[in-house]
């Protein structure tokens, strides 16, 4: 290895998983506490601000009872495609959730609603699930139409914010896994810097 | 006065600040560099949005 090369970083998978669960938690585990707090506050602010713009009704994953009767969805190009079924069909009808999911535990109520409504023989309770109720449940069509019609574009802007928060957390997860994209280690920079002309060499002990 | 009316554009600064800070913080570990790059990205995004806004305003006014 030449002097200019730096050794590869050790990947921290535990920190990456923690940063998925809660943005910045992996960085806190690594001792980069301030940075972890910045990630947490920033991404949760963006995610919940986006949810508030959409009256807290723009993050969901449609369950089987909703997508079962909807037309078939084929995913792919040319001859390489498959008919979407199960979770793939739900995500094909609500692709926004593919981005929103990466915000971590904050998006899990939507997954819980999806999992609770998988069995076609079981009628889901109208009040939703215990504890979370209908939080992040699929809104009825009439309500969605009302939100989009009367929301002054804010409902749509809201899901865009939640999606961007989720996608940004992918960068945060990568930062926890492998460190920052630019390795600007201060000590290394000092050691690499050539000595200034006229400066006395450091005494060796 | 329409600029100061309740508009979705007032919601943009939150997005701009968060995207700039989080993106910059995933690129650097030193706070001076994080803030420097966040400011640079924030200005670039704001400039781009302003340019698009002015372009759309001119199109809607004179076309």
Two tokens, residue A189: 């920079």
- Expressed as residue numbers, the domain containing A56 is 13-180
Spatial separation of the C-alpha atoms in residues A121 and A65, rounded to whole Å: 10
Of B6, B15, B21, the CB nearest to A38: B21
Predicted local confidence at residue A205, as pLDDT:
40
Q: What is d(CA B33, CA A170) in angstroms, rounded to the nearest whole number? A: 21
* Contact list, A49 vs chain B (CB under 8 Å): 11, 14
Q: What is the predicted ipTM?
A: 0.87
Q: What's the rounded Cα separation, in Å, for the pair A90 and A93?
A: 5
Mean pLDDT of B19-41: 95
Minimum distance, in Å, between the CA of residue A94 and any CA atom of chain B:
22
Map tokens 């995933």 to a residue: B26
* A168 in a structural domain: yes
Structure tokens at A144: 């969605």
Comparing A1 with B24, the larger pLDDT belongs to: B24
Please report whether residue A172 resides in a domain: yes
Residues 6+ apart with CB under 8 A from B17: A42, B42
Give B-chain residues touching A177 at CB under 8 angstroms. none
B8 vs A49, A153, A180: nearest CB: A153
* CB of B29 closer than 8 Å to CB of A179: yes
Contact A82, A72 (CB under 8 A): no
* Segment-wise mean pLDDT, segments of 10 residues, chain A, 205 residues: 65 97 97 97 98 95 88 83 86 95 97 86 80 93 92 91 98 95 66 62 50
Q: Is residue A167 part of a domain?
A: yes
Q: How far apart are the first and last CA of chain B?
A: 21
Q: Which of B22, B31, B33 sits opposite A43 (nearest CB)?
A: B22
Q: How many domains does chain A have?
A: 1
Phi (first) and psi of residue A82, to 5 degrees: -140, 160
Chain A residues touching B24 at Cβ < 8 A: none
- B29: nearest CA in chain A? A180
Collect all residues of chain B within an 8 Å Cβ-Cβ radius of residue A168.
Answer: 18-19, 22-23
Distance CA B42, CA B48 (A): 10
Q: Is residue A38 part of a domain?
A: yes
Of A15, A23, A1, A8, nearest to A172 by C-alpha is A23
Does residue A189 lie within any of the structural domains? Answer: no
């Amino acid at each position: 290895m030449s002097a200019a090369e730096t050794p590869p970083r050790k990947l921290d998978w535990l920190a990456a998983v923690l940063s998925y669960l809660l943005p910045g938690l992996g960085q806190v585990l690594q001792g980069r506490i301030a940075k972890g707090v910045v990630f947490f506050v920033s991404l949760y602010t963006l995610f919940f601000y986006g949810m508030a713009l959409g009256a807290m009704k723009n993050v969901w994953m449609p369950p089987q009872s909703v997508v079962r009767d909807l037309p078939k969805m084929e995913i792919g190009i040319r001859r390489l495609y498959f008919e979407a079924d199960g979770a793939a069909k739900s995500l094909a009808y609500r692709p926004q959730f593919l981005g929103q999911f990466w915000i971590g535990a904050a998006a899990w109520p939507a997954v819980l609603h999806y999992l609770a409504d998988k069995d076609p023989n079981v009628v889901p309770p109208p009040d939703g699930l215990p504890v979370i109720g209908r939080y992040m449940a699929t809104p009825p069509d009439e309500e969605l139409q009302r939100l989009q019609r009367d929301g002054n574009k804010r409902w749509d802007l809201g899901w865009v914010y939640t999606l961007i928060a989720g996608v940004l957390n992918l960068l945060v997860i990568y930062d926890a896994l492998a460190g920052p994209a630019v390795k600007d280690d201060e000590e290394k920079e000092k050691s690499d810097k050539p000595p200034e002309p006229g400066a006395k060499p450091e005494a060796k002990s | 006065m329409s600029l100061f009316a309740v508009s979705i554009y007032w919601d943009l600064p939150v997005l701009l600040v968060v995207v700039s800070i989080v993106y910059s913080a995933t690129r650097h570990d030193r706070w001076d560099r994080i803030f420097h790059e966040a400011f640079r990205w924030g200005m670039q995004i704001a400039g781009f949005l302003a340019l698009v806004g002015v372009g759309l305003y001119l199109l809607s006014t004179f076309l």
